[in-house]
Structure 1
Amino acid sequence: MKRSKITYLLLIITTIIIGLASRYYAEYLPDFINLGLGDALWALMMYWMIGFIFPRISPVKLTILSLCICFLVEFSQLLQADWIIAIRNNTFGALILGKGFLWSDLIAYTLGVGTGMTIEKYLLLARVSSR
């Protein structure tokens, strides 16, 4: 199975736009959605990015790799060295690495990657059935 680079690039861009919009319009969303939406969208973006970089990776490996990267980034937030704190104090660094460790983020990452896996499965099934 080979993923379409154009499709995955569009999915990455769309997810980034939705993620930034969710932050911009956070006041209009319920608190329980705001709690994990950004983290779930970040994990979804990671899923699309890894699928873009490795277009032939199996969906199972893609899911495992995405979760491992998301979890590794979250656990790295326990590291409080000066150099990584300086990176996190930059807006771009904070968007990529986050600011502080939360167990609930692991759930949001799992939901985000699971959403990507589900969408991908749906898209793959739709593409295969249309042939």
Structure 2
Amino acid sequence: MPGIQRNRLIYNALAIVVLLLGLASRRFFGEIPFVRTYVGDVLWALMVFFGFALIFNHWPTRTVVLAALLFSFGIEVSQLYHAPWIDSIRATRLGGLVLGFSFVWSDLLCYSLGIAVGFLVETVLIPTRFWRADRT
């Protein structure tokens, strides 16, 4: 079965737009409990999906989904570990955004939803003319 070739410009743009939406959601709507609790995590996982699809642009869609889930869940589980060196990274703005602070079960659902949105965007919304071959 032939591989796929994602358009790097499209996935780069998608990742940047989602990153900006995530930052904007915290800055402008961070006072709203639902946005603060859930929206940022969904957007974070969506950005992870697009990032994996960008970097590994020949991987089948299901492999990107699995890698993004494993990465996202791994980051969440890592929040159970607290040592001075990693907590000092988390204390920075970038470190906190990437690594988070504490394990929350609902984040796993948010990550799954964000990656599912990425899957739908890739398989339904992005025109097939941007693919060289099969979209597995």
Contact 2:25 2:35 in 1 (8 A): no
List alignment gaps of at least 5 residues for structure 2. 130-136
Deviation string, structure 1 residues 27-70 (Cα, Å, up to 9, x no partner): 575x3343210001000000000001100101111101100000
Q: How far 1:24 moved relative to its partner? A: 1.0
- Measure the CA separation in 1 of the matches of 2:84 and 2:112: 29
Match of 1:37 in 2: 39
Tell me the amino acid that sits aligned with residue 23 of structure 2. L
Higher RCO (C-alpha under 8 Å, 6+ residues apart): 2
Tell me the amino acid that sits aligned with residue 74 of structure 1. E
Does the C-alpha gap of structure 1 residues 2 and 26 become closer, same or farther in structure 2, counting only changes over 3 Å?
same
Tell me the amino acid that sits aligned with residue 9 of structure 2. I
- Measure the CA separation in 2 of the matches of 1:82 and 1:92: 17
Match of 1:127 in 2: 128
Deviation string, structure 1 residues 106-130 (Cα, Å, up to 9, x no partner): 0000000000000000134x324xx
TM-score by length of 1: 0.91
- Measure the CA separation in 2 of the matches of 1:27 and 1:36: 11
- Measure the CA separation in 1 of the matches of 2:99 and 2:31: 26
Match of 1:55 in 2: 57
Name the Cα RMSD after superposition: 1.3
Q: Which runs of 4+ in 1 moved over 6 A?
A: none
Match of 2:103 in 1: 101
Match of 1:92 in 2: 94
Tell me the amino acid that sits aligned with residue 26 of structure 1. F
- Measure the CA separation in 1 of the matches of 2:81 and 2:31: 33
Q: Do residues 9 (structure 1) and 35 (structure 2) align?
A: no
Tell me the amino acid that sits aligned with residue 23 of structure 1. R
- Measure the CA separation in 2 of the matches of 1:35 and 1:10: 25
Q: Report sequence identity in percent.
A: 36
What is the aligned length? Answer: 126
Tell me which protein shows more helix as a share of its residues: 1
